[in-house]
Amino acid sequence: MTNYPIGDFLIRIKNAAMAGNREVEVNATNFIVSVAGVLKKLGYLEKVEKKDNVLRAVLAFHKKEPVLINLKLVSKPGLRVYINLDELSKRKGASFLIISTPKGVMSSKEALKSGVGGEVIAEVW
């Protein structure tokens, strides 16, 4: 059992992408499933399956290279990082934030459209 399951899941995805592995399996929680759904919507994961409390995520590849280039955990158990709508609208760049909002887990682009801020889980590019 890990202390920070979502961080463990995201780092496993990053390590699998760096190693060229195609899939990752972790214990499924509702939060992990929703974050995996956001990554799938953004195109970083090809397929997400939940079966018997185990989540199997298949990484997306383009020309034999993983689509996910880098991933950085922003919030950690000892230091939670929050972003409001003003700070979110000022962000520029090619990276996406995965944000846990009162309306659910979503990407920074969706949070901007919904007009909400929240806890920044990770930055993906």
Domains of the chain listed by start with CATH number: 5-66 (3.30.1370.30), 71-124 (3.30.1490.10)
Query: Residue 112, exposed/middle/buried by CB under 10 A (0-12, 13-18, 19+)?
Result: middle
> Phi/psi at 72 (nearest 5 deg)?
-130, 125
16-25 mean pLDDT: 96
Q: Are strands 118-124 and 82-83 parallel, antiparallel or unpaired?
A: antiparallel
4, 56, 49: which is closest to 26 by C-alpha?
56
Do 59 and 89 contact (CB within 8 A), yes or no? no
Residues above pLDDT 90, as percent of the chain: 94
* pLDDT tens digits for range 82-99: 999 999 999 988 899 999
